[in-house]
Amino acid sequence: MVGNSQFSRVKQWALIGMALLVISLPSVASAKAGQATKKTNSEKKAEKRALKFGRRLQSLAQLGKNFSQIKKKPTQPVVYPEKVPVRLVHIQNMIEQGQLMMRAMPASFPVRGRISSVFGPRRHPRSQDYRIHSGIDIVAAFGAPVTATADGRVVFSGDRAGYGKVIVLDHGYGYQTVYAHCSRLLVPVGVRIVRGQIISHVGKSGHATGTHLHYEVRKNGQPI
């Protein structure tokens, strides 16, 4: 903002410009009355430059005067529409829900070992007939720790025909995981589980022909 001192300085330069205009004009003091004074081209150019310079300085002086009259307004708080906070809360909820969903998706290996049988049709090791194998078999050392592959809640912990000692976790969103043929179960029904938590140990209970973990992922009750 141009202050009063700056405004006075610009005004002084305007006066100097006007003085230059007068100086640049040819002297007529010695001219006779009624005798026209002839201007040279250089005099005409000097007069034109001085006049232009003076007008610019006058404009700057007026501009400084206008600025000096402007009063600074207090800073006004930014007012957001009422819908903005609601949308931010909605976005935050979506992010948190997405994080919970990612934690609930089975996305890790339950035990270190070798996969001996995959999902799909196969010859049953006992009956020798072909049927769908509803999970994968992972060969591991007897007593090896079995961990949850996603956050969830224990909905079954006990013995089940064929599966032997088995744990079933419900992860929400229609997903469940099954850990069968265990030697020891570590968590009871109703307990909340986090991904990576040890829930049992590898064994060969049920119809298992060797030490391994039978692992299933189910979506809406159907093995996938």
Mean pLDDT of each 10-residue bin along the chain, 224 residues long: 52 56 47 52 70 66 56 56 69 80 90 91 72 91 98 97 96 96 98 97 94 96 90
pLDDT at 49: 72
pLDDT at 164: 96
Q: Distance between CA 9 and CA 7 in Å, rounded? A: 5
* pTM greater than 0.75: no
Whole-number Cα distances in Å, 59 to 64, 65, 183, 200, 214: 9, 10, 96, 88, 90
- Taking each helix axis as running N to C, give the angle between helix 41-68 and helix 4-24, from 0 to 180 degrees, rounded to the nearest 10: 160
pLDDT at 144: 98
pLDDT at 4: 52
Which DSSP symbol is given to 115?
A: E
Which residue do the tokens 């250089």 mark? 42
Strands 136-139 and 212-219: what pairing? antiparallel
Q: Distance between CA 74 and CA 223 in Å, rounded? A: 67
pLDDT at 213: 97
pLDDT at 17: 55
**Residue ranges of the alpha helices (H) in 69-174?**
83-104
CA angle 129, 202, 136 (to 5 degrees): 40
Q: Distance between CA 115 and CA 177 in Å, rounded? A: 17
